[in-house]
Amino acid sequence: MTPCSLCGANAISPDCMRCESRVELFSQLDAEEQRRCRVIDQARGLTKSHEPASQFVRRFRKLTNLGRPPRIGLVGCGKQKLRCRAPARELYTGILFRAALEYSGATFDETYVLSASYGLLDLDRMVMPYDKSIIKLTTAERITWGERIINSLIALFPTMNVNFHILAGTGYSVPVINAAEREGFLWTFEEPLKGLMLGQRLRWFKDAGA
């Protein structure tokens, strides 16, 4: 079931006139699919409330018209940051993050940041610097963090088959992939940096042209 072309809801929004015509179609979905639609809407309300519905619909259509699964880069955040509020694309100043961001921007259809503090970040989202590391989270906190990331991805890519490329270590990738598997999504995840140390990652990006 595609999102409402007026309000962008995947389920039924009681405040949208166009959603009234979608009630019968929504009622034909099984209980699990209805639940997922509501999860998508809930996640969008928490993470994408700044995105107008019309903008969401245009972006959704652009991705579905690619003729293939979207290829999305997920870049792990870095310890080195600016000391002031800045867009996510500028906040992290470390050489590894900059190389990953450049590579992802040149290679994939969209790029997002995996933040230990904020969760999934749009590159243009304004955020404050923070002192929180993914490796210092407890097992339970990592599970919760991974679920938070997946809920945000559900909101961004509803009903899509997506190919994600995680440009980060296993501290980031494992919670995300495990959460996706628990939800039963058929997304694919690539980990090109898996098993590589810092110097090897930098060399990988250099060889890749970043």
Residue 195: C-alpha distances to residues 158, 168, 200 (Å): 31, 10, 9
What are the sequence ranges of the domains in the chain?
1-65, 69-207
Q: Which one is the CATH code of 69-207: 3.30.70, 1.10.10, 3.40.50, 3.10.310?
A: 3.40.50
Please tell me which of 36-50, 104-118, 179-193 the model is most confident about, judged by mean pLDDT: 104-118
The 3-class SS string of 51-118 reads CCHHHHHHHHHHHHCCCCCCEEEEEECCCCECCCCEEHHHHECCHHHHHHHHHHHHHCCEEEEEECCC
Q: Is the dihedral of CA 180, 133, 92, 57 positive or negative?
A: positive
**pLDDT category, 47, cuts 50, 70, 90?**
very low
pTM across the whole model = 0.76
Q: 198 or 5, which is more confident?
A: 198
Mean pLDDT of 170-192: 92
pLDDT digits (tens, 9 = 90+) for 75-124: 999 999 999 999 999 999 999 999 999 999 999 999 999 999 999 999 99
Q: 80 or 185, which is more confident?
A: 80
- Note whether 7 and 13 are within 8 A (CB): yes
Consecutive H or E run containing 188: strand 188-190
Strand partners, 166: 74
Residues near 118 by beta carbon (within 8 Å), at least 6 away in sequence: 125, 127, 130
pLDDT digits (tens, 9 = 90+) for 122-172: 999 999 999 999 999 999 999 999 999 998 998 888 778 999 999 999 999
